[in-house]
Structure 1
Amino acid sequence: MSSEPSSVFRRLRSRAAVTAAKLATTASRLTGRGAGGMIGGLIANAIDPSIMEQLGARRPTALVTGTNGKSTTTRMLAAAVRSRHVVATNEGGDNMDAGIISALMAGKSASHVVLEVDELHVPRVAERLDPQLLILLNLTRDQLDRVGEINKIERALRDCVNAHPGMLVVANCDDVLMTSVAYDHDNVLWVSAGAGWVGDSVTCPRTESHIVRDGDDWYAMKKLRDGREFRRPEPTWVVTDDGLRSPAGSTQLELNLPGRANRGNAAQAIAAAVAGFDVPFDAAVSAAENVDNVAGRYSTVHFEGRDVHLLLAKNPAGWQEALSMIDREADGLVIAVNGQVADGEDLSWLWDVRFEDFESLPVKAAGERGTDLTVRLTYASVEHQHLPDPVAAIRACPTGRVEVLANYTAFRDLKKALEKENSND
Structure 2
Amino acid sequence: MAGNSDPLTPRAKLAVTAGKAVAAASRAAGRGSGSVIGGRVALKLDPDLLARLAQNLDVVLVSATNGKTTTTRLIAEALRAAGPVVSNALGANMPAGITSALAGSSDARYGVIEVDEKYLAGVARDTDPKCIALLNLSRDQLDRAAETRMLAENWREGLAGSKAVVVANADDPLVVWAASSSPNVIWVAAGQMWKDDAWSCPSCGGVMQRPGDDWYCGECGFRRPTPSWALSGDHVLDPHGSAWPIHLQLPGRANKANAASSAAVAAVFGVPPQVALERMYQVQAVAGRYDVVQFMERDLRLLLAKNPAGWLETFSLIDPPPTPVILSVNARSADGTDTSWLWDVDYTRLTGHPILVIGDRKLDLAVRLEVANQHFQVCENLDQAVQMAPPGRIEVIANYTAFQDLRRRVGN
TM-score (norm 1): 0.92
Deviations 1:282-323 (A, max 9, x none): 111112233221101011001121000000011111111111
Alignment of 1:7-406 (within 5 A): 11-164=9-162, 166-223=163-220, 229-247=221-239, 249-274=242-267, 276-329=268-321, 331-406=323-398
**Aligned mates of 1:330, 1:310 — CA distance in 2:** 18
CA distance in 2: counterparts of 1:144 and 1:179, whole angstroms: 22
> CA separation of 1:106/1:391 partners in 2, compared to 1, >3 Å: closer, same or farther?
farther
What is the Cα-based RMSD across aligned positions, in Å?
1.5
Does structure 1 retain, via aligned residues, the 8 Å contact 2:234–2:256? no
Displacement of 1:259 in angstroms is 1.3
**How much does 1:394 deviate?**
2.2
The letter of the residue matching 2:168 is A
Tell me the distance in 2 between the aligned counterparts of 1:39 and 1:395: 39
Residue 400 of structure 1: how far off its partner (Å): 3.1
User: Partner letter of residue 211 of structure 2?
Assistant: D
Whole-angstrom CA distance in 2 between matches of 1:73 and 1:333: 26
Aligned sequence identity (%): 43
Separation (CA, whole Å) in 2 of partners of 1:99 and 1:31: 18
Is the CA contact (8 Å cut-off) linking 1:55 and 1:104 kept in structure 2?
A: yes
How far the C-alpha of 1:98 sits from its partner, in A, is 1.1
Give the gaps of 5 or more residues in structure 2.
1-7
* Cα contact 2:161–2:182 (8 A) shared by 1: no
Aligned equivalents of 1:271 and 1:395: distance in 2?
45
Q: Which amino acid aligns with 1:197?
A: W
After superposition, the Cα gap between the structure-2 partners of 1:329 and 1:290, relative to the gap in structure 1 and judged at 3 Å, is: farther
* Alignment-mate amino acid for residue 367 of structure 1: G
In structure 2, C-alpha distance between the alignment counterparts of 1:72 and 1:383, rounded to whole Å? 32
C-alpha separation between the residues in 1 aligned to 2:381 and 2:45?
Answer: 40
Instruction: For residue 332 of structure 1, report the CA deviation from its aligned partner.
Output: 1.9
Give the 3-state SS of the residue equivalent to 2:347 in structure 1. coil
Residue 407 (structure 1) aligned with residue 395 (structure 2): no
Q: Which residue of the partner structure matches residue 3 of structure 1?
A: none
Partner SS state of residue 85, structure 1? coil
Query: Shift of residue 51 of structure 1?
Result: 1.0
Q: Distance in 2 between matches of 1:95 and 1:373?
A: 28
Instruction: Please give the alpha-carbon distance, in whole angstroms, between the structure 2 residues aligned to 1:84 and 1:146.
Output: 39
CA distance in 2, matches of 1:330, 1:60: 48
CA contact (8 A) 1:239 1:263 kept: yes
Task: Please report how far the alpha carbon of residue 357 of structure 1 lies from its aligned counterpart in structure 2 after TM superposition.
Answer: 3.4
Change beyond 3 A, Cα 1:355–1:31:
same
Deviation at 1:253, TM superposition (A): 1.4
Note the C-alpha offset of 1:70: 0.1
Per-residue deviation at 1:19? 1.3
Partners of 2:234 and 2:54 in 1: how far apart? Answer: 39
Q: Contact 1:136–1:169 at 8 Å: present in 2 too?
A: yes
Q: Secondary structure at the match of 1:64?
A: strand
d(CA) in 2 for partners of 1:91, 1:57: 20
* Distance in 2 between residues matched to 1:360 and 1:330, nearest whole Å: 6
More moved, 378-387 vs 240-249: 240-249
CA distance in structure 1 between the aligned counterparts of 2:337 and 2:303, rounded to whole angstroms: 20
Question: Which stretches of structure 1, 4 residues or more, deviate above 4 A after TM superposition?
Answer: none
Secondary structure class of the residue paired with 1:356: helix
Matches of 2:270 and 2:30 in 1, distance apart?
A: 41
The 10-residue stretch of structure 1 (344-353 or 387-396) with the greater mean CA deviation from structure 2 = 387-396
Which whole-Å CA distance do the structure 2 matches of 1:320 and 1:353 have between them? 7
For 2:48, the aligned partner's letter is S
Amino acid aligned to 1:114: V
Deviations 1:214-257 (A, max 9, x none): 1121111122xxxxx31111111111124111125312212211
What one-letter code is carried by the residue in structure 2 that aligns with 1:236?
A: S
Q: Deviations over 1:1-48 (max 9, x none)?
A: xxxxxxxxx833222211111111212222222122212111111221
In 2, are the aligned partners of 1:169 and 1:188 still within 8 Å (CA)? yes
Structure 1 distance, partners of 2:48, 2:299, is: 47
Secondary structure at the residue paired with 1:95? coil
